[in-house]
Structure 1
Amino acid sequence: MTHLLVGVDTGGTFTDIVLLRDGGFKVHKVLSTPEDPSRAILQGLHELGILEDIEALVHGSTVATNAVLEQKGVPTGLITTAGFRDVLEIGRQTRPKLYSLRPQKVPPLVPRERRVEVKERLNERGEVLIALDEASLERALDALQSAGVEAVAISLLFSFANPEHERRVAARAREVGFYVSASSSVLPEFREYERTSTTVLNAYIGPLIARYLERLEQELPSRTTLRIMQSNGGSISSAMARSEAARTLLSGPAAGVVGAAFVAQASGFTQTISFDIGGTSTDVALINGTATETTNGMIGGYPTRLPMIDIHTVGAGGGSIGWFDTGGALRVGPISSGANPGPAAYGRGGSAATVTDAHVVLGRLIPEDFLGGTMKLDTQAAQQAMQAIAERLGGSVEEAALGIIRVVNANMEAAIRVISVERGCDPRDFVLVAFGGAGPLHACELASALRIPRVLIPTVPGVLSALGTLVADTLKDYVRTIMLPAEEAQEVAITVLGELEQQGREDLAHEGIAPEDIRIERYLDLRYVGQAYELLIPYGHDVAQAVLDFHRMHEQRFGYSDPNERVQVVNVRLKARGVGDKPAYERREAEEQVDVRPFARRKALFTGAMGEALAYEVPVYERAALPVGGVLQGPAIIVQYDTTTVLPPNWRGYVDAVNNLVLEHIEEGESA
């Protein structure tokens, strides 16, 4: 009996599907249905004729992200300790735009009339100062019922040190019929604002995620197992995703990073930058052996402290629209044409000039080969859309298209600098892994700007996020605040990590993970005494060694360290990882590098040394026809079903042993 596994990633423009059957891949793309993402998924599965045969489906979802960004979550209430009703409103008093004369704070997801208090109080050690007043709890619940609340977030003072009061409030709220999100379950660590914000986010999107997954499960065969990608790069069961929905806020982008790390390792690269361009955004992340993680995430202006891959996103994608600001400067994005109507070249009624239209005008996207020939692009519509930009700039449509590409590339370059240079890493030491529907179109130009010497294009770049869902481990994160000087933390850290490990093994057992497939990773959040931020440090069994590692990492990240300064252990963290079987790449070594023949030639434009538009007669290759060891010389265009790769002048490429495409910059004076 064959095993059929399916990975799905829903994006702004396309929904990507990857089939894995007995080690072989098949890819498929359908236009997304933002109003109900499950419709596109089911349409794609029906088109493939595999719905009844699926053993497991792993889903990278944008439902949670979109609900927060569009502020379309459920009516949510908040129960807090008396006196702390306005924590969400007060926030951190930081200004995201330092020089803005009229800064606007994002409105809290829970308005003041739906934030209620209960009488109770613990101290910082979790000792009871004021017992929970049951009458105040009943009044709070009555008020939320009257307000028409569907979900309730509970964040009581110091509940991370003693969750008893919070558990009693949660139990009573469930009896009333609310969807409940309690901070002691979602995020048992200090920092009132971030803990409350994370708990509220979980409540705000929880019922939406639950209903969406239930609807999807009803359409899938009863034998099919449904799993959901988390922001941390691991997957969880759909049942767990319902109760901990906030863990899926960066579900799709995280799957892309996991996929990028997987294909890069197959080609022998461990230091990489993932570069994912979709229809509406560009997502970049640093993979320094493993994906860089953060607990200081931000979604739509709302902080979340749940562990997530450190992904930086900018509103620059294939559907990003070119426009002029009040000063007359050309801008691109973050406004996007989306899936409907999409770029003008899609022929669905779009009239604004987008990045995709620019590539069509420049000859880099081949209309008859888009999506493997299943969707033809409208060149005339793209040129008409670009004409408005050209008239404003006073140049040709080709010059306008190059202008859009230069502007959007600058936005993407800034994003890569955020996750590399600003994190103390030199991008020249990394390989750029380009994927998404538009990543390979821009990768080489971005690499040249950042002096990254090498670009890797995976075998299935356009659907790599969907592939990432299939190679992701089952992963659970746990945290507990201990707040102790490093010299006093050894025994407490070992004890707490032991308790968290037991919980992690039990949770993974419920997920169907065998004991021998469970891996435990331990970490400490360390800081110098008096600092307001921490660094995540791997922990073996010796706090003293972790402190030494902290000094070294602080030096790398911030440019200084002080080994004589006292260090504090703030949180202990544990990852329980269920390691599954990964699909194995077949390696085929070529005896020698061979030249390959194009199937066509066409005119394409590139930017010259002085910024001028230069036309080239460019060979066009079919990606599937490139043999292992095949050598390409830029400028060239490589087409395949899920993307188009552009190899500019002064670049060359070859197909490696696992069928990934490796592109290298040719330095001045170097022989091609």
Structure 2
Amino acid sequence: MLPEYKEYERGVATWLNASLGPVVYRYLSTLEKELSGNSLQIMQSSGETIAAAKASRTAVNLLLSGPAGGLTALHALGLQTGTSRFISFDMGGTSTDVALLDGAPVTTNEGTIAELPVGVPMVDMHTIGAGGGSIAALDTGGMLQVGPRSAGAVPGPVCYGQGGTQVTVTDAHVVLGRIDPSSTLAGGLTLDSAAALEALERLGAAMGVDAKTAAEGVLAVANEQIAAAIRLISVNRGYNPQDFTLTSFGGAGGLHVCALAEAMNMTRALVPIHGGVLSALGMIVAQPGRQLSRTATALLSDLTDAEIENGLAELEAQGRAELTAEGAQGPLAAKSSVDLRYKGQSYTLNVPWHSRAQAKQAFVALHRQRFGYDHDTELELVNLRSAVTAQGVELVLPRADSENTNRSTKSAANRVHSTHPASLAATYGSGAYPSIRREALDEHEREGPLVIIELAATTFVAPGWCAKRDAIGNIELRKR
């Protein structure tokens, strides 16, 4: 499963694959029968797809397939918008996945899942237990905690009216007027704002504050947890967040994007079109591919360029053969890289392969960026890697031409109304945020505070921020 050194990681990968394989095989076999006559591709954690028959034998490579889909779609959107550097966070009901894209999604072979080191290729992200359904409660010391426990979909947040009693992040948004309780959600679900208010009042009483202050505290704690994760994948690795565009997706991401941008001193953000289902979009446009590796430990100076290239060529040939056998169409592309380290180190850094001299130069620069220093020490080659990809589906989104938007629909969507029901407005004053449908946005900036509503997500434009729609329907946010 993992032809690399480090026996523990190899053992974990083998154990996970043996555990998941039979379950994945049964599911995919049934699915293929239902889709008789159609080719079924499965998303991998690395951001490429693999034939279903092969996927069931390498189930360990599917663990982060959902988040990988979102990053793949974001990369494709970036190619259309001319933006290549993103810090993204995918916020759903239970957790938030944070990642950095510097031209393309970054992959790693040192990821962890449930504190287990999993050495297979996967998108490089950091996951925390803070999502829309994360439970907010006081710990034994009286400190407010948000997550990692979640209310899940059932019973879900208190405002779902399905028997939930514990305050969640979503309940805090409802009480603060950032989610319109009068709207009908997907599946016909209506929100019980009065129940959410009552739950926040109970939490506030335990904290010695009112419900509004308690709700603000819940969001502040959740936002700081996500901001800490963003610092981990950016600042701690030598990147300046201000050089990137903060991007949110997932159903809950747009509610937090402005607050997180401010926490990171970022002045621009993007909420992609179809952000609530961006991972699904990414799976559609992902390229079929293989990421292959093998250990080849030796001092870099003891090898020739030709010896290294021969090993890389063998991996590339294997990848090309597997993709061809799956019926990959069009030309195949391959990228070679190597894992290097200073002699005596236990960790490695991956750099592109062109020659030993260029690999050494790239390693020294990356080590200095990541750790702030470099050594005058010999380099060791540890692993050879080859990524082979076929052509995927090109993402071409139609231009969001405001002149072609149905005028009556746009007019109705553009009406401003309060996002607070009367019971909350009586408690906190008018509480009115301008609230519009996403399709009503155009190329002209609208100033916050503003709530932008769509079927699969909600975006809160905070005071001091402006929002507009770009040519393909993304929401562009700018701090004034």
Is the TM-score greater than 0.5? yes
Q: Which residue of 1 aligns with 2:232?
A: 418
Q: Which has the larger radius of gyration?
A: 1
**Separation in 1 of the partners of 2:325 and 2:356?**
31
**Separation in 2 of the partners of 1:603 and 1:368?**
8
**Separation in 2 of the partners of 1:347 and 1:530?**
59
Shift of residue 585 of structure 1?
2.2
Shift of residue 486 of structure 1?
1.2
Shift of residue 372 of structure 1?
6.0
**Separation in 1 of the partners of 2:65 and 2:419?**
39
> Are residues 615 and 286 of structure 1, via their aligned partners in 2, closer, same or farther at CA, if it must alter by over 3 Å?
farther
> Are residues 373 and 573 of structure 1, via their aligned partners in 2, closer, same or farther at CA, if it must alter by over 3 Å?
closer
**Separation in 2 of the partners of 1:589 and 1:446?**
30
Q: Which residue of 2 aligns with 1:602?
A: 418
8 Å CA contact retained: 2:157, 2:167: yes
SS in 2 for 1:618: coil
Post-superposition Cα deviations, 1:456-475, rounded to whole Å, max 9, x if no partner, equal 01111111111111111112
Q: Which residue of 2 aligns with 1:575?
A: 387
Post-superposition Cα deviations, 1:173-211, rounded to whole Å, max 9, x if no partner, equal xxxxxxxxxxxxx11111111112211111121111112
Task: Give the alignment of 1:650-665 within 5 angstroms.
Answer: 650-665=464-479
Question: Is 568-577 or 265-274 further displaced after alignment?
Answer: 265-274
| 2:364 paired with 1:551 | yes
- Residue among 304, 321, 334 paired with 1:506: 321
8 Å CA contact retained: 1:475, 1:578: yes
| 2:397 paired with 1:585 | yes
**Separation in 1 of the partners of 2:138 and 2:24?**
38
- Residue among 405, 429, 433 paired with 1:618: 433
Letter in 2 for 1:578: A
SS in 1 for 2:417: strand
Shift of residue 373 of structure 1?
8.6
Letter in 1 for 2:263: A
Q: Which residue of 1 aligns with 2:406?
A: none
8 Å CA contact retained: 1:474, 1:579: yes
- Residue among 18, 37, 48 paired with 1:223: 37
8 Å CA contact retained: 2:237, 2:370: yes
Q: Which residue of 2 aligns with 1:336?
A: 150
Task: Give the alignment of 1:30-179 within 5 angstroms.
Answer: none
Shift of residue 345 of structure 1?
1.0
SS in 1 for 2:382: strand
Question: Percent of aligned positions with the same letter in both sequences?
Answer: 42
**Separation in 2 of the partners of 1:397 and 1:506?**
62
- Residue among 275, 288, 305 paired with 2:119: 305
Q: Provide the aligned length of Structure 1 versus Structure 2.
A: 466
Structure 1 or 2: larger strand share? 1
8 Å CA contact retained: 2:414, 2:440: no
Task: Give the alignment of 1:188-203 within 5 angstroms.
Answer: 188-203=3-18
| 2:21 paired with 1:206 | yes
Runs of 4+ in 1 over 6 A off after TM superposition: none
Shift of residue 589 of structure 1?
7.4
SS in 1 for 2:345: coil
Unmatched runs of 5 consecutive residues or more in structure 1: 1-185, 606-612, 667-672
Post-superposition Cα deviations, 1:161-180, rounded to whole Å, max 9, x if no partner, equal xxxxxxxxxxxxxxxxxxxx
8 Å CA contact retained: 1:273, 1:433: yes
**Separation in 2 of the partners of 1:225 and 1:367?**
42
Task: Give the alignment of 1:238-637 within 5 angstroms.
Answer: 238-371=52-185, 374-489=188-303, 490-514=305-329, 516-540=330-354, 542-562=355-375, 564-587=376-399, 598-602=414-418, 617-627=432-442, 629-637=443-451
Larger RCO of the pair (alpha carbons < 8 Å, separation 6+): 2
Shift of residue 657 of structure 1?
1.1
**Separation in 2 of the partners of 1:198 and 1:384?**
47
**Separation in 2 of the partners of 1:614 and 1:250?**
44
Letter in 1 for 2:272: P
Shift of residue 438 of structure 1?
0.2
Post-superposition Cα deviations, 1:262-293, rounded to whole Å, max 9, x if no partner, equal 22332221000111100000001000011121
**Separation in 1 of the partners of 2:253 and 2:45?**
21
Shift of residue 615 of structure 1?
6.8
Shift of residue 604 of structure 1?
6.2
8 Å CA contact retained: 1:358, 1:402: yes
Shift of residue 422 of structure 1?
1.1
Letter in 1 for 2:43: M
> Are residues 376 and 443 of structure 1, via their aligned partners in 2, closer, same or farther at CA, if it must alter by over 3 Å?
same
Post-superposition Cα deviations, 1:554-577, rounded to whole Å, max 9, x if no partner, equal 111110113x32111111100011
Q: Please tell me the root mean square deviation across aligned C-alpha atoms, in Å.
A: 2.0
Letter in 2 for 1:513: A
SS in 2 for 1:663: strand
Q: Which residue of 2 aligns with 1:7?
A: none
8 Å CA contact retained: 2:341, 2:348: yes
User: TM-score, normalization: structure 1?
Assistant: 0.67
**Separation in 1 of the partners of 2:209 and 2:78?**
41
Letter in 2 for 1:664: R
Shift of residue 221 of structure 1?
3.0
